[in-house]
Every structure is written in C-alpha cells, then in structure tokens.
Structure 1
Amino acid sequence: MSDLPEICSAKGCQAPAEWALLWNNPKLHTPDRRKTWLACTEHREQLSAFLQARGFLRDVVPHGSAPGSAESPERG
C-alpha cells in the first residue's frame, strides 16, 4: 500500500479524500459488490448526484470507514 494520500475522484481535483461513495452498476455487478469513488467535501454532492442519477449510488460514508477501503479508488 502506498504512503501517498488518497485523493478525490473528481476530474482534476487533488484534494484529500474525506468521503467514500459506494456504488455498483446493477447491470454489471452482483448486488453485494461495491465499487468506490473517493470525494473531498467540495465534490461530494457533485459525485453523489452523478451516481444517483444513474441509480448506482448505494452509500456515502466517511473515508476510511468503508468496507474494503484499502481497495484502490477509481478516478472519475
């Protein structure tokens, strides 16, 4: 695991992640599968709205408390 801080998944953002947005695409993933986007406070609502509009958002939790939070985040 890297010592580099995990950063927000919003395009071009380099802010430290404060939130984990847990999601899945029901057409591709099993119901229990959770993918993770990380968000800073500034981009939390924007990224959540993007996922929610597609029916993908499952939960938003403080970063570090998400199950499987050691998984590498995806950049959006």
Structure 2
Amino acid sequence: SAASADLRAQRDQLIVELYRTGMTQMEIARIAGVDQSVVSRRVCRDRRSRIAAAMELVPPDAPPTVQDGTTKGEMR
C-alpha cells in the first residue's frame, strides 16, 4: 500500500542518515528494527545513486584524468 511504501521510504532515509553519522550497520539495524542485510542493501543503493548523480555532473567531453585511471600517466 501507499502508506507502507511511505514508511519504508522514511525508514530507508533514516538508515542512510544514521550511516552517514558514522554508526555501524549493526547499530542502525537494531534502531530501525531490521536485519543488518537490509541496512547494507540500502546503504549500497544510496552509494550507487550518489555515484551515478556525480557522474552526470561530468561533461561527456571532459578530458580524462589520472584519478579516473583513463590516462597513461600524463600530467594535466
């Protein structure tokens, strides 16, 4: 139902916020009343979405950098 989806979304947001404060997945699981694997999946999903969002900020014609491993050691 829509209500349970809203509750899940709120729980997921809480999980991510607590993780960002430095709490362990086990601590968060106890607080949220879920298994640690639920916390792990939610944290991973958040990390993937943040990486994807950051990648969208890089223009497609941006030159490769040493940090992204796409050059052969050239200096910028």
Normalised by the size of structure 2, how large is the TM-score?
A: 0.26
Structure (1 or 2) with the greater strand fraction: 1
Structure (1 or 2) with the greater helix fraction: 2
Larger Rg: 2
Normalised by the size of structure 1, how large is the TM-score?
A: 0.26
Higher relative contact order (CA 8 A, sep 6+): 1
